[in-house]
Structure 1
Amino acid sequence: MTTTEALEHLLHTAKVDPHRLLQQTVCYDWWFSWTFSVSWGYAVQVFGNHMFLLDVLRAQQTFEPWRRGNPLAEAFNFDTRDHHMDPCRRPTVFFFNRANFSRDGRIKSSYRGLIS
């Protein structure tokens, strides 16, 4: 998906439900010890363990500093959590696919996982 297509995809979501766009909700499943992070219109992350709320809310660092070797290059303006090196410790991510209105006026959204 190109940048333009991604923006159009996000704007379509905003037309369906602009009030919840990109709001994040964190839920816990005590039976399976899972943590769910739902960012409506963007992604659902499933962690295989209980996570502290502040750790879940921090953005995952999916980028690297442009200049290496400079200690200030890794000082970002926002708090990030590291991308875990062990794939088993990373969350399973389902990305937003589409949102529509059902016949009874409810909003139905679907997400899909990507296999790498």
Structure 2
Amino acid sequence: MTHNTFTIDLPSPDAEVPVLRVAGDLDHHTAPRLREALEAVPFAPGKGVVLDLSGLAYSDSTGITVFINAYKRARAAGGLLLLAALNPDLLQVFRIIGLDQIFVFHPTIDEAITAFRQE
């Protein structure tokens, strides 16, 4: 397997709708970095983050667990965690394992931002 460098681009602190960009391979080595970034998100009613996953090439079960735990934390706080722009292969995997029962997958960042504003 080709290993794609994992990167996280944090949203600007003054962003109206924060977008956290995740790229590369999300696995047991890199998942702690995403967990830490998401733990810094101030989930509260009407607050949260859009995850731009357009650059995410791969996610193992450890990465999926990070998404689920962040979703639970956001929901418990009345906040939002929106996933956007997954590549078709990952979107299919996420649907097969049932994540479409938890998340609404937004095809683009703009659509996720619009949904965020409407919540």
Give the structure-2-normalised TM-score: 0.26
Greater share of helix: 2
Q: Which fold has the larger relative contact order, with Cα–Cα distance below 8 Å and residues 6 or more apart in sequence? A: 2
Give the structure-1-normalised TM-score: 0.27
Structure showing greater Rg: 1
Greater share of strand: 1
